[in-house]
Structure 1
Amino acid sequence: MTLFYLIRHGEPDWQINENYRLKGHGRDLAPLTARGIRQVYETSKDQRLRQAELIITSPYTRAMQTSAILSKELSLDIAVEFDLREWQPDLTFEYDTLERLNELVQDYERCGGVYPPGETRIWESKPMLKSRVDSVLRRYAQHEVVIVVGHGMAFRTQVNREDIPCASITEYEIGK
């Protein structure tokens, strides 16, 4: 069994998106707030993390910044995994407002993350997201303990839990 410590990134500064009217993946450049940085330093003190062999992380700024803090505090290497990125609310990468994001999230939730029969949506479905994240985790199943830094929606599909606070640790195991 491999034990994964799923750590959601610290609190991000979403206001940057609105200030710069960022679109698509540009919206994922938001760094952590000062509070988010403090959250991650606090999380790094959790003794369970001392067992980890490495950190794998989403490529998004908020996750990379979280991983950098954990790496420094725990003296662990970081591997960046593109497929640990957050749920894609718009596979066309065109949305550019918080209002549009909220519309897409509401549609996703209304549909339970699954496209209605015979229909498609522009958002990434729950099965697509779960498969993407599963494929990354399986590549690290030869390790005993791995820290995974990523995102709330991505982790929710793995552990079937609704509330995953910023900088929290969720234990998740898979067989080798």
Structure 2
Amino acid sequence: MKKVYVIRHCEAEGQPPVSPLTNRGLKQAIELAAFFENSKVERIISSPYKRAIQTIQPLAKQVNVEIEVNRQLKERVLSTNYLSDWPEKLRNTFEDFELKFDGGESSQEAAKRITEVVEDVFKGAFENTIIVSHGNLISLLLNSYNKDFGFNDWSNLSNPDVYLLKSENKKVTFERVWR
């Protein structure tokens, strides 16, 4: 049985790709490494965003696994325009997966990106892989395996958060494993 741990990054200073973790986020990254202390980790794939890479660096060092950066794991862009009502707009994209705002990606497009990465991992040689990404993108991934996972579940994600995806007999199930 293949396992993929999907991790939402630790607390960050902001949303831009270059935003680092806060001091609290750096401590959370160390706690995350401790969380995986007794787990076998063979592969680590991360979003190129600084906060994602910083989240997984302590664990990568601990297990001596190189971090693979994958652009398909970058956060979903809702719009390139400022949206004062972005939470409502985001909620709408969970109800209409083809809805798209100026310069942004639809939920369908974003979900396809991260699902491709996960499906490739399940087809690969490694039994235990970690993927580090962002809340909206992870929510869309989880929704692709269970349509009940929606906007309210996204809003209840923590920084960090960890979900374990398992693939058995071509069926993917998941559970939240972060404390």
Taking structure 1 as the reference length, what is the TM-score of the superposition? 0.78
Q: Does 1:126 align with 2:119?
A: no
Change in 2 beyond 3 A, CA 1:47/1:65: closer
1:27-53: per-residue Cα shift (whole Å, max 9, x none)?
221000000010110011124763110
The higher relative CO (CA closer than 8 Å, separation ≥ 6) is in: 1
Q: Does 1:149 align with 2:138?
A: no
> Which secondary structure state, in structure 2, belongs to the residue aligned with residue 44 of structure 1?
helix
> Which secondary structure state, in structure 2, belongs to the residue aligned with residue 68 of structure 1?
helix
Q: Does 1:81 align with 2:70?
A: yes
Change in 2 beyond 3 A, CA 1:33/1:113: farther
* Matching residue of 1:173: 166
Check the 8 A contact 1:55/1:146 in 2, yes or no. Answer: yes
Note the 1:9-20 alignment, pairs <5 A.
9-14=9-14
* Matching residue of 1:139: 120
Change in 2 beyond 3 A, CA 1:47/1:30: closer
Query: What is the rounded CA distance, in whole Å, between the counterparts of 1:38 and 1:102 in structure 2?
Result: 32
Change in 2 beyond 3 A, CA 1:112/1:145: same
Query: What is the rounded CA distance, in whole Å, between the counterparts of 1:63 and 1:49 in structure 2?
Result: 22
Q: Which protein has the bigger helix share?
A: 1
Check the 8 A contact 1:115/1:121 in 2, yes or no. Answer: no
Q: Tell me, which stretches of 5 or more residues in structure 2 are unaligned?
A: 143-148, 171-179
* Matching residue of 1:46: 35
Q: Which amino acid aligns with 2:12?
A: P
Structure 1 residue 127 displacement after superposition: 1.5
* Matching residue of 2:146: none
Q: Does 1:164 align with 2:164?
A: no
Change in 2 beyond 3 A, CA 1:102/1:78: farther
Q: Tell me, which stretches of 5 or more residues in structure 1 are unaligned?
A: 18-26
Taking structure 2 as the reference length, what is the TM-score of the superposition? 0.76
CA RMSD in angstroms comes to 2.2
Q: Which protein has the bigger strand share?
A: 2
Q: Which amino acid aligns with 1:121?
A: F
1:91-123: per-residue Cα shift (whole Å, max 9, x none)?
xxx44xxxx25533421213435267xx74223
